[in-house]
Amino acid sequence: AQSVTQLDSQVPVFEEAPVELRCNYSSSVSVYLFWYVQYPNQGLQLLLKYLSGSTLVKGINGFEAEFNKSQTSFHLRKPSVHISDTAEYFCAVSDGAGNQFYFGTGTSLTVIP
Amino acid sequence: NAGVTQTPKFRVLKTGQSMTLLCAQDMNHEYMYWYRQDPGMGLRLIHYSVGEGTTAKGEVPDGYNVSRLKKQNFLLGLESAAPSQTSVYFCASSYRINPYRTTNTGELFFGEGSRLTVL
Residue A76 has pLDDT above 90, yes or no: yes
For B113, nearest residue in chain A (alpha carbons):
A43
B23, B110 contact by CB (below 8 A): no
pLDDT of residue B1: 61
Cα–Cα dist A81/A16, whole Å? 5
Of the residues A2, A29, A44, the best mutation for testing chain B's interface (the one with the most B CB atoms within 10 Å of its CB) is: A44
> Over the stretch B39-75, which tens digit does the pLDDT of each residue have?
888 899 999 998 899 999 998 999 999 999 999 999 9
pLDDT digits (tens, 9 = 90+) for A35-55: 999 998 888 999 999 888 888
Contacts of B44 in chain A (CB under 8 A): 103
What pLDDT, in 10s, does the model give residues B6-20?
999 999 999 999 999
pLDDT of residue B106: 72
Using the predicted structure, report yes or no on whether residue B32 has a pLDDT greater than 80: yes
Q: How many CB atoms lie within 10 A of CB B93?
A: 26
Look at B42 and A105 and tell me if their CB atoms are within 8 Å.
yes
Per the CB < 8 Å rule, is A105 touching B41?
yes
CB B95 within 8 A of CB B33: no
Minimum CA–CA partner of A10 in chain B: B40
Pick from A44, A52, A96: which is nearest to B110 by CB? Answer: A44
Query: Helix, strand, coil proportions of chain B in percent (round to 5)?
Result: 5, 50, 45
**Per DSSP, which regions of A1-113 are E strands?**
3-5, 10-14, 19-21, 24-26, 31-38, 44-50, 56-58, 64-68, 73-78, 87-95, 101-103, 107-112
Residue A54 has what DSSP assignment?
Answer: -
> B108 and A106: CB-CB below 8 Å?
no
Query: Is the per-residue pLDDT at B92 higher than 80?
Result: yes
Residue of B nearest to A51 (CA): B99
Residues A43, B4: C-beta atoms closer than 8 Å? yes
DSSP string covering B10-23, please?
Answer: EEEE-TT--EEEEE
Q: Which of B56, B96, B107 sits opposite A49 (nearest CB)?
A: B107
